[in-house]
Structure 1
Amino acid sequence: MLDLTRFAYYVPSLSFSFEHDMRARLQNLHLRAQSAFISLQNMSRYPCTSEDVPPIFVERYIIHGYRSLHKPWSYYWKSLFHKHNESINVWSHLTGILYMGYLFYYYNKRLNFFENSHSWPFAVSLSTAIIMFLCSAFAHLLHSKSEKIHLTCFSIDYLGVSLHGFGSGFLHIYYSAPEWYYNKIEYEYIFILLLFGILACFLNCFAQDYFSRPYPPLKRVCQFSGCAVLWMYSVIPLIARLFPLNFPLDSTLMCHFGQILFFIIGSILFGFDLPQRFCPGSLDFIGQGHQLFHLCIYLVTVLQMHGVYWDYEDKRTIIDQRTKPDLIFCAGSMLSLLLWNIVTVWYFRRRLREKNCHEK
């Protein structure tokens, strides 16, 4: 039975007036939040610092929370549930996998992927998004085992990035592009997109192979240029759709505008090591630019899927009158890019083995 006497004892002590010193309360709240944030940055379980690991594992302005090398695989798998400087990077994209899986189920019920051939580009893009999140999550989880594993993991990560860039463009041209643009460049667009996807993976793997720590700025230029060209080409249909930009935008155009904006913001934070550049060692666990970039990519993908679905709903009568997409064209283009990227990753891993043999 509820003890009302105890409840009555505490009620009088609660004050709902504004006579208290609000400034003191806010300062106290700020100190508690600051203390909690500092405790999150305390890397007690993985005490390795940037001085304890080889330079290839060191991220600029990230000092604490590195995992030890050459441990059993179980050490890295178990680190999924522990705190280190890659925890947020792993979980942000594991969450992406779960949400993209949910969207696959959700949109399949509405679009019927298995019978509606006009929905196949949507299924292709959802699949590439899941692959991208999967590659990234496991790259960040397992790369610390050794230098060879580190290079292999992030080569596979670049494969996923390339594949998702291709899937995004495939989605945009088929559902979101203005009809005049789609009719003018449909198949040529996909072919060029495929070439840019191969180029993005190749340049990232090449930069990783050619440059060594401490990396010169040219490495990032090489990596970013391939991804930037792929991304810019993939959003041309959206820009054609958005131009001229007349506010207020409806919900669909807001999604398209938002995904472009979030990608630019995330790329700037990642490319210029913001905000950890201004406070080295203070954002090792949470708040570093790479983590914010992951969050932006997650938002980009969510906005992309919802915006394009609404485009399909709005233009369904037009889209359904087009020539039905060929399954071999939809799945085959994705699989051909995947195959080319696997060959690229294999080639540069082979070069790595040869280098190690020569050094020995």
Structure 2
Amino acid sequence: MLSLKLPRLFSINQVPKVFHEHSIIFGYRHPRSTATDCLFSLFQLTNETVNIWTHFLPTWYFLWNLLALSYTLDFWNEAYTWPFLVYMLSSCIYPFTSSCAHTFSSMSTRARHICFFFDYGALSLYSLGSATVYAAYIMPDRWINTPFHKWFTTIAVFNTIICTALSCYSRLGMPFINYNRSIVERSPELDHPNLSKVLRIVAFAYPYFFDNIPLFYRLFLCSGEGCAHNETVPIHYRHVALAFLTCFLFVTHLPERLAPGRFDYIGHSHQLFHICAIIGTHFQMEAIIMDMTLRHSWLSLHAPLPSFMGTIGALGFALVLNLLIIALFSLALYWTPKLPELRYEYLNEKFKADEDATPRFLTRLVKRPRVLKE
């Protein structure tokens, strides 16, 4: 009988620190996994499996919605639908890119950085997609044709550059030669993890808050006529609530920080973060479709039609810029010196004094074997 041997899993003390996840003790894949091993891990319960599937399956859900709507909306000839097309494309790109990043991030240290560079770039494109539809359909009536409305998408393109560059910098790895001639991986993420976390939060929070200025005004500040209050308001509230819950989970690392080792495979914050983000995107999509339909007549009379360069052209331009930024950061990983004797024995000694590597009550459960070669 044929049998399939799944790749072995490791504990936090058996992999280089760059692979460590906060309060996740077990379930790590080999830090030099092959592409085949990574694909096999899709069907093996690791600390990344649920992360992968919670974004891979929704990709097909959003793609199915895009294809279904293409039969009722004339994306080819009707300029009014172009912002929605940009949004749906970005909503398909970001979960697919994230699932690929989590799948292949264990192939090497450099591969891990590059995978998440693409993940950050996809998220920044999603923020641009959101800004594009918000400028076209969500903007309050009284803000239509104001300078803020006219420059909204242009500023959003600039924000994507900031988002991708800042988030990539927050995890850029650079080899460092110490006095013992040992080479270890150094980066803002390793040397200053709190600063790295703050940089990454700012990189994604800033575009989100900018994109949602029109929506926040409609929901929380606007009163009287010109606010575009309609049946979409309750759905917008759900999206906003889930967005803040997503941010809360990303920042706090709950619930795993309360019980390290208990939520390694199912239930840790990154999985919950993925689920909340996807459900929030679903409600956002539903609200946008309703606003696009309900406000069509009024917007057609009072607002200019979306232009190609302000929608599809802006997405293409931002895509090129993001790929350029990702390429520059990726090349920086290969421009740094690398000696053939690159090993992690130094890290193995460093783990002895690292209080964050394994909580005290788990040190008896987890033996500290030699750290794997990268």
1:67 matches 2:29: yes
In the TM superposition, residue 279 of structure 1 has moved relative to its aligned partner by 0.5
Query: Deviations 1:99-149 (Å, cap 9, x if unpaired)?
Result: 111110222223221222100000001101111111101000110010010
Partners in 2 of 1:96 and 1:277 — Cα distance? Answer: 27
CA distance in structure 2 between the aligned counterparts of 1:123 and 1:46, rounded to whole angstroms: 43
1:307 and 1:195 map into 2 onto residues whose CA distance is 26
Deviation at 1:47, TM superposition (A): 2.8
- The structural deviation recorded for 1:172 is 1.3
- Does 1:302 find its partner at 2:282? yes
Q: Say if 2:159 is the partner of 1:196.
A: yes
CA contact (8 A) 2:84 2:133 kept: yes
Q: Does 1:272 align with 2:252?
A: yes
- What CA deviation, in whole Å up to 9, does each residue of 1:223-256 have, x standing for no partner? 111211100001111112213489xx96511221
Question: Residues 86 and 305 from structure 1, CA distance in 2 versus in 1: closer, same or farther, beyond 3 angstroms?
Answer: same
Q: 1:214 to 1:59 in 2, by over 3 A?
A: farther
Give the AA of the match of 1:289.
S
CA contact (8 A) 2:137 2:292 kept: yes
Distance 2:60 2:192 in 1: 34
Aligned to 2:331: 350
Alignment of 1:18-97 (within 5 A): 46-97=8-59
Q: Which residue of 2 aligns with 1:175?
A: 137
Taking the aligned partners of 1:275 and 1:250, their CA distance within structure 2 comes to: 37
How large is the RMSD of aligned CA atoms in angstroms? Answer: 1.9
CA contact (8 A) 2:136 2:306 kept: no
| Poorly superposed stretches of 4+, deviation over 6 Å | none
State how far apart, in whole Å, the 2-side matches of 1:46 and 1:358 are: 28
Q: Aligned residue for 1:283?
A: 263
Alpha-carbon shift at residue 68 of structure 1 (Å): 1.0
The CA deviation string for residues 154-173 of structure 1, in whole angstroms up to 9 with x for no partner, is: 00000011110111111112
From 314, 321, 346, the equivalent of 1:340 is: 321
**Structure-2 separation of matches of 1:215 and 1:81:** 34
Task: Give yes or no for contact 1:256–1:304 (8 Å, CA) kept in 2.
Answer: yes
Residues 358/228 of structure 1: CA separation in 2 closer, same or farther (3 Å cut):
farther
Contact 2:48 / 2:102 at 8 angstroms: preserved in 1?
yes
Contact 1:46 1:84 in 2 (8 A): no
**TM-score w.r.t. length of structure 2:** 0.80
Q: Provide the rounded CA distance (Å) in 2 between the counterparts of 1:89 and 1:100.
A: 17
- Counterpart of 2:226? none
Distance 1:88 1:291 in 2: 6
Q: Which has the higher contact order (CA 8 A, sep 6+)?
A: 2
Aligned-pair CA distance for 1:329: 2.8
Structure 1 counterpart SS, 2:311 = helix
**Alignment partner, residue 205 of structure 1:** 168
Q: Which amino acid aligns with 2:219?
A: L
Structure 2: gaps of 5 or more residues = 1-5, 173-186, 224-228, 343-374
Instruction: Find the residue that maps to 1:48 and give its secondary structure.
Output: coil
Q: Could you say which residue in structure 2 is the equivalent of 1:228?
A: 205
* Secondary structure of 2:171's aligned partner: helix
Report the equivalent of 1:136: 98
d(CA) in 1 for partners of 2:338, 2:10: 29
Deviations along 1:178-197, one digit per CA (max 9) or x if unpaired, are 12213212231111111111
Q: Distance in 2 between matches of 1:235 and 1:242?
A: 10
Number of residue equivalences: 315
Q: Distance in 2 between matches of 1:84 and 1:93?
A: 16
Q: For 2:264, what is the secondary structure of its paired residue?
A: coil
Letter aligned with residue 297 of structure 1: A
Q: Does 1:148 align with 2:110?
A: yes
CA shift at 1:287, angstroms?
Answer: 0.8
The verdict on how the C-alpha distance between 1:330 and 1:96 changes in structure 2, with shifts beyond 3 A counting, is same
| Structure 1: unaligned runs, 5 residues or longer | 1-43
Cα offsets for 1:292-339 (capped at 9, x unmatched): 111111011101110011011111112233432222331111111111
8 Å CA contact 1:174, 1:182 repeated in 2 = no
Of stretches 186-195 and 122-131 in structure 1, the one that deviates more from structure 2 is 186-195
Deviations 1:8-37 (A, max 9, x none): xxxxxxxxxxxxxxxxxxxxxxxxxxxxxx
The CA distance in 1 between the partners of 2:8 and 2:190, in whole Å, is 23
Q: Is the 8 A contact 2:90 2:126 kept in 1?
A: yes
Query: For 2:102 and 2:93, how far apart are their aligned partners in 1?
Result: 14
C-alpha contact 1:168 1:234 (8 A) present in aligned 2: yes
**Matching residue within 78, 81, 86 for 1:124:** 86
